Amino acid sequence: MCQREFHYRRDSRLKSQRGVLTVTDLSVIRQSTLLAGMEEGALLSLVNQGWVRVLYRGDSLFHQGDAARTLFLVLEGCLKEYRNRRNGVITVNRIVEAGACLGELDLFLAQPYAAGVEAVWDSRVLELPSEGFLEALTRYGSVARRTTEHLSRRLERQIQDLENAYWLSAPQRLAVFLTDLFPDGGRHRDCRLAFDKSVLAARLGMMPETLSRAFVALRGHGVRTHSRCIYIEDVEALRAFACCE
């Protein structure tokens, strides 16, 4: 039994009673990767221009190629950002949860969404009109600074993903992902993935059978799995394998 699990459960009242902002939602917004540190008055003014959208598992938030007119902030749940390649292969760029933003890059570039987004589990998302956010970006220096920091971190993460794909083996890339689940390290750690292993394979740029072999290879490094439950004997030892094999 996992000591730490992600819980996403379909609720028949989700769309009828959870389409409004709650106190918990405001806390998520204030601590989000893009809006944290924004003046309270400006934040509430921006939030009041938005609306809450509810998605069940498998629902699309937007599709690749749609016009980018909205900034999205995840309030709860789990979503995947994916691309359909010309050869028919689907790749998962990101898996996001509460506090993450979606669609911001395309919004700034004034281009259609380069990727689609789909709910992995039942989710709630705050939609913010582009005009309101861009006005806040112009008016408030704190918003501009936070946005610059946010975009820089996104770029840094993408560069890291590219380096990992180029230099690391499949077991090492999997080890990097698993250790990122426990940034504080520790021993005898476990969790339950919020998504199927097929989604994880696409996120790591692997075929499902390659991911299975990678999990087998990590058994010798203290990793055990049962369905979506992951157990790691020693996080720091696994991190050392990922970076310094």
| pLDDT tens, position by position, 114-160 | 999 999 988 999 999 888 888 888 887 778 888 888 888 888 888 88
Which of 92, 97, 98, 147 has the alpha carbon at shortest distance from 115? 92
For residue 90, what is the DSSP state?
E
- The alpha helices in 110-225, defined as continuous H runs, are 130-139, 141-167, 170-180, 197-203, 208-218
Query: Considering the chain, what percentage of its residues have pLDDT values greater than 70?
Result: 92
Residue 128: CB atoms within 10 A of its CB come to: 25
The H or E element containing residue 186 is none
How far is CA 235 from each of CA 30, 46, 212, 232, rounded to the nearest angstrom?
A: 31, 40, 20, 6
Would you state the structure tokens that stand for residue 1, as one six-digit string? 């039994």
pLDDT tens string for the chain (245 positions)?
Answer: 444 444 445 555 565 656 788 889 999 999 888 888 778 888 888 899 999 999 998 999 999 999 998 999 999 999 999 998 777 778 899 999 999 999 988 988 889 999 999 999 889 999 998 888 888 888 877 788 888 888 888 888 888 888 888 889 999 999 999 999 998 889 999 988 888 888 899 889 899 999 999 999 999 999 999 888 999 999 999 999 988 65
Would you state the structure tokens that stand for residue 50, as one six-digit string? 């938005």
Architecture of the CATH domain 168-244 = Orthogonal Bundle (1.10)
Would you state the structure tokens that stand for residue 150, as one six-digit string? 């946010």
Angle separating helix axes 170-180 and 235-244, nearest 10 degrees: 140
pLDDT of residue 11: 59
How far is CA 187 from each of CA 4, 71, 210, 231, rounded to the nearest angstrom?
A: 14, 39, 26, 10
d(CA 213, CA 220): 12
pLDDT of residue 164: 82
Which of 80, 105, 104, 107 has the alpha carbon at shortest distance from 94? 80
Architecture of the CATH domain 14-166 = Sandwich (2.60)
Which of 176, 162, 173, 161 has the alpha carbon at shortest distance from 210? 173
Q: What is the largest CA-CA distance in the chain?
A: 55
How far is CA 208 from each of CA 9, 99, 199, 215, 227, rounded to the nearest angstrom?
A: 25, 29, 9, 11, 14
Residue with tokens 């971190």, as numbered in its chain: 153
Angle made by CA atoms 153, 184, 7, in degrees to the nearest 5: 85
Residues of the chain with CATH 1.10.10.10: 168-244
d(CA 71, CA 39): 19
Would you state the structure tokens that stand for residue 234, as one six-digit string? 């020693």
Residues of the chain with CATH 2.60.120.10: 14-166
Cα atoms in the 13 Å half-sphere on the side-chain side of 221: 22
